[in-house]
Amino acid sequence: MLDFWCPENYVNAEVAPVYPMGGAASRLYSTLTRSLSSPLPLPPSCPDPRRPADTNPDPDLCREQKTASPARPLDPAELLRQCEEALGDRAPRLHREFVRLGDGDGAPGSSVRVMQWNILAQALGEGLDSFVRCPPEAISWSRRKYLILEEILTYRPHILCLQEVDHYHDTFQPVLAGLGYGSHFCPKPWSPCLDVDGNNGPDGCALFYDRSRFELLDSVGLRLSAMRIPTNQVAVVTTLRCRTTGRCVRVAATHLKARAGWEWLRSAQGSDLLRQLQNVDPGSDAPLLICGDFNAVPTEEVYRRFAASPLGLDSACKKLGADGATEPEYTTWKIRPTGECRATLDYVWYSRDSLRVDGVLDVPTEEQIGPDRLPSFSYPSDHLSLVCDFSFEGTEE
């Protein structure tokens, strides 16, 4: 019988050598920028993540990136076309419907689009994750980078929360900066990517925001704790002001501990994140968006803690259910040596009294995903992206 229980089977890495952004990474970056036609500034070298987590890390990690956009901004439609062209004779994309909700009565163009996605760290996909039914060609970075960018460009989120990002400096930050996004990246203190030969540095959480829609007010990287003991999991918390409405919103991107048997740790990490969000600005009435791969099914304690939090949170993807109270059947579906894993682990939590859900991207069917599951030639990650449109409650348009 196939096992459908599957908080991710990652193991914390021991300290390993860091491979600087040179050699293969620089060649990759050059290839990417040539193929996308617009020259971009070379990214900084990846700092050593082994420095103590309680000291101030390299300023190019764990802080808002101030790098200017290229002199010639990238055109999203042209970039999407080039991604599709680079993929050539590819398998069809997963067709997904946007479910519009009756209570989404905001003015056209007023919604804020949020995307949550564990994109699958390249080092893990090629190394520790062991997707036994995924052809090696489908997991190659030369292909996946275009599929990931294609997914982002298709939905054009105003706020983008990513986990397992190990190509931040050489790919996502410069390319998305060219599209007008600001960003903040926080790596895991002991990333399992560092155990993989030829890795591109540590993976972590990254939060991007559309500068044309939002003004940055503040951004911090957090290391999550359990019973006051620092853990290997992190979060990025960014405060933004909407240029359209003048309203502020606090956005968190996080990735909780993986694997069965660690439910107590996920619960403690979730509680720590909720506590820190409450303490950031206790008097603030800014609504919250908390996006992440929680590695927890809806019956876990950490899910219940978020649902019952005094912060007044609800899960946006529950809107896909007929009763508005049921999560999707799955947000990840993969086959590993231990069996098949089909579960809901990813969530977009929002302040239910301050934000209104206008629409949610539905999940693809089993037939669309295919018998070999994810990742595949059609889709670059073992996790599905979650895309939700929100409006501020009580905003006069």
Q: Is residue 50 part of a domain?
A: no
Output the pLDDT for position 282.
57
Separation in Å, CA 242 to CA 60, 89, 112, 181, 216: 25, 40, 9, 14, 9
Torsion, Cα 387 391 392 395, to 10 degrees, reads: 170
Q: Is residue 17 part of a domain?
A: no
User: What are the backbone angles phi and psi of residue 21, rounded to the nearest 5°?
Assistant: -75, 75
Tens of pLDDT, residue by residue over 298-310, are 999 999 999 999 9
Computed on alpha carbons and rounded to an integer, the radius of gyration of the chain in Å comes to 20
**Inter-residue contact 87 to 145 (CB < 8 Å):** no
**Domain total for the chain?**
1
Tens of pLDDT, residue by residue over 210-234, are 999 999 999 999 999 999 999 999 9
Output the pLDDT for position 127.
81
State the CATH number of the domain containing residue 271.
3.60.10.10
Q: Is residue 68 part of a domain?
A: no
Q: Is residue 191 part of a domain?
A: yes
How far, in Å, CA of 79 to CA of 134, rounded? 27
The C-alpha angle with vertex 116 and arms to 182 and 214, in degrees rounded to 5, equals 30
E strand or H helix that includes residue 239:
strand 229-242
Its pTM stands at: 0.83
How far, in Å, CA of 245 to CA of 344, rounded? 33
Output the pLDDT for position 269.
98
Task: Identify the domain containing residue 34 by its residue range.
Answer: 24-42+74-392
Output the pLDDT for position 69.
42
User: What are the backbone angles phi and psi of residue 83, rounded to the nearest 5°?
Assistant: -60, -45
Q: Which regions in the chain score pLDDT beneath 50?
A: 1-5, 7-70, 104, 397
Separation in Å, CA 36 to CA 57, 80, 176, 289, 350: 31, 9, 12, 32, 35
Q: Is residue 342 part of a domain?
A: yes
Q: How many CB atoms lie within 10 A of CB 322?
A: 6
Greatest CA span in the chain, whole angstroms? 56
Output the pLDDT for position 8.
47
Alpha helices in 92-211 (DSSP H): 122-126, 136-139, 141-155, 173-178
Q: Is residue 69 part of a domain?
A: no
Q: Is residue 328 part of a domain?
A: yes
First to last CA, the chain: 54
Q: Is residue 58 part of a domain?
A: no
Question: The dihedral of CA 255, 261, 265, 267: what is its sign?
Answer: positive
Torsion, Cα 344 255 320 159, to 10 degrees, reads: -160
Q: What's at 364, amino acid-wise?
A: P
